[in-house]
Chain A
Amino acid sequence: MSEKKAGGLTSHQKRAIRTNLVGYSFIIPNLVGYSLFVFLPVCFSFVLSVMEWDASQAPMKFVGLANFADIFGDRVFRSSFVHTIQYALMTVIPTLILALLLAVLLNNKLKGVAIFRTAFYFPYIASIVAVGAVWNMLFQPDFGPINQFLKFIGIDNPPRWVVSTDWAMVAISIVSIWKYMGYYMIVYLAALQGISGELYEAASLDGANSWQKLRYITIPMLTPTTFFVLIMLTIQCFKVFDLVYVMTGGGPGNSTKTLVNYIYEKAFTSWELGPASAGAIVLFAVVLVITLIQFRGEKKWSRDM
């Protein structure tokens, strides 16, 4: 704003400029950081996915959709994608059901509910490195406590868990369910608080038992929450990396390699940024589709309510 220009403005215009500037001054610190370190990279990830580049001084080369053709032709990528879906299938539904069950249990007026809630939520805030290390030992195939227990109850050939190509993903799923169900339990608990007590009172007058109340009041009333949890869990499963990395490193063989593990290795071990970014765009597409389903669902429920 030069002096001369400002001089030619009416006081009204001056005030408008001032208000604008004050507004901008509030958002600028976050906006600059966010545009530079989040928004710009998001846009640039699309560019990188059609380029050939190894992050060196050499210039990028435009290759069109070759990177996509490359990864879809790559057996490892296809299997990583399939593993991610398998992981999601094994994880989402059990986590959801257990979270709902825990929430319903804790919604009873019992003494010490807070302690139980803390215990169930605790795995969620524990770091994946620590949690992965301890579960890896629990799953130790020969002397680990889990297999000792299984042998004790009469299973002679318990699964070899993280060292078996068939069971490694199951082991990761179990840890994931254990770690995340407490979080979704809290989400459910919050929703349960919102169900009016009158509904239950009316049902009691009609002679409904606890099971019927759960079946015909609680679960239907929680449908929007269940939908939300389903979406969140599915997205979370598609983003899985740390747990796999610390428990199996994608092995044995490539049997637990997931989408993000593939992207990570392509990018930061072999420095093939093009194919890695193409993989990232595939992840983006998956998340986008799930998010669009969520929007439609939310619209539907806000109309019904």
Chain B
Amino acid sequence: MEKKQKATKIFLYVLLIALTVFMLVPFYWMVISSLKENKDVFSVPMQWWPQVMHWENYQRIWEKIPLLTYFKNTAKLTIITTIIQLCTSCFAAYGFTKCRFKGRDTIFLMYVTTIAVPWQVYMIPQFVLISKIGLNDTHLGLILMQSFSAFGVFLIRQFYLSIPNELCEAARIDGLNEYGIFRKVVFPLGKPAMATLTIFTFTNVWNDFMGPLIYLKTQEKKTVQLGIRTFISQYGADYAYIMAASVCSLIPVVIIFLSCQRFFVEGVAASGIKG
């Protein structure tokens, strides 16, 4: 029996390792190609380990495309969008869970009915609207269109619902007004949900491609994703540089992901199960 269990275990490990290799090979290929010379990227037979490491590719890429500008733009968009999203969602979630006011349920219904509508359905009128107020090709336009989501409100609301009302009641008796209760009681308790939302918004905005593609035309305003894409379409044969740029674009997300993995997993579970 014990022997059999051991065999099963070994089999499982072999299977898992094989799958892991399959999942990670593209990333490995990306990294080694970024360290090769262009002409060696597609050498036959393949080199799984470059003979000479061309680290200078990583220097060159910053000169070849304004990668630093792209990084700054993306960081700006990501940070501002995440902050607005977080603050307004927490506020609204408190309003929807802990306050009673006229029309609350009707207003919430508006969120419910539109949460399932894909962005692609309303991206055209949204673009028209943002252009009409003169924000086409601006970062502000992109920020405004991405900052308000029903998903954020739902996620935080779900968490606030689990905070007992007695807690707020007790604070009320202690003489705190609603803003005080929000600031001192509910907001600090909601940190796990906020972490999840932060990470979701961060990766979404950082990786977003279609939004910037539609809104940003000026070279100096482009984001990392759009900038790299533009580079690829212009210099499609600069394989090593393309891969070096891709590696650079992945780094921030990788850092966030590895340091906050727990919240990623909890976030998927929360949004997945509750729908």
- A45 partner, pick from B42, B124, B131, B214, beta carbons under 8 A: B124
- Is A135 located at the chain interface by the 8 A CB criterion? yes
Tell me whether A23 and B100 are in contact (CB under 8 A).
Answer: yes
Interface size bracket, B side? 35 or more
Tell me whether B20 and A239 are in contact (CB under 8 A).
Answer: no
- Is B242 located at the chain interface by the 8 A CB criterion? yes
Tell me whether B117 and A284 are in contact (CB under 8 A).
Answer: yes
What chain A residues lie within 8 Å of B246 (beta carbons)?
129-130, 133-134
Interface size bracket, A side? 35 or more
Tell me whether B272 and A190 are in contact (CB under 8 A).
Answer: yes
Tell me whether A126 and B253 are in contact (CB under 8 A).
Answer: yes
CA distance A117 to B23 in the complex (A): 11
Select from chain A the residue with minimum beta-carbon distance to B31.
A134
CB contacts under 8 Å to A, within B22-74, are 23-24, 26-27, 29-30, 33, 41-46
CB contacts under 8 Å to A, within B191-215, are 203, 206-207, 209-210, 213-214
CB contacts under 8 Å to B, within A227-248, are 228, 235, 238-239, 241-242, 245-246
What chain A residues lie within 8 Å of B87 (beta carbons)?
29
Select from chain A the residue with minimum beta-carbon distance to B227.
A129
Tell me whether B110 and A39 are in contact (CB under 8 A).
Answer: yes
SS of B interface (majority): helix
CA distance A291 to B112 in the complex (A): 13
- Is B159 located at the chain interface by the 8 A CB criterion? no
What chain B residues lie within 8 Å of A267 (beta carbons)?
123-124, 127
What chain B residues lie within 8 Å of A29 (beta carbons)?
87-88, 91-92
- Is B173 located at the chain interface by the 8 A CB criterion? no
CA distance A212 to B231 in the complex (A): 53
Select from chain A the residue with minimum beta-carbon distance to B133.
A36
CA distance A145 to B26 in the complex (A): 10
- B125 partner, pick from A45, A134, A225, beta carbons under 8 A: A45
What chain B residues lie within 8 Å of A33 (beta carbons)?
84, 88, 144, 147-148
CB contacts under 8 Å to A, within B261-275, are 261, 264-265, 268-269, 272-273, 275
List residues of B whose CB falls within 8 A of some A CB: 8-9, 12-13, 15-16, 19-20, 23-24, 26-27, 29-30, 33, 41-46, 84, 87-89, 91-92, 94-96, 99-102, 104, 107, 110-111, 114, 116-118, 120-131, 144-145, 147-150, 153, 177-179, 182, 203, 206-207, 209-210, 213-214, 225, 228-229, 232, 239, 242-243, 246-247, 249-250, 253-254, 257-258, 261, 264-265, 268-269, 272-273, 275
List residues of A whose CB falls within 8 A of some B CB: 19-27, 29-31, 33-42, 44-45, 47-48, 55, 102, 105-106, 108, 110, 114-123, 125-131, 133-135, 137-138, 140, 142-145, 148, 178, 182-183, 186-187, 189-191, 210, 225, 228, 235, 238-239, 241-242, 245-246, 260, 263-264, 267-268, 273, 276-277, 280-281, 283-284, 287-288, 291, 294, 298
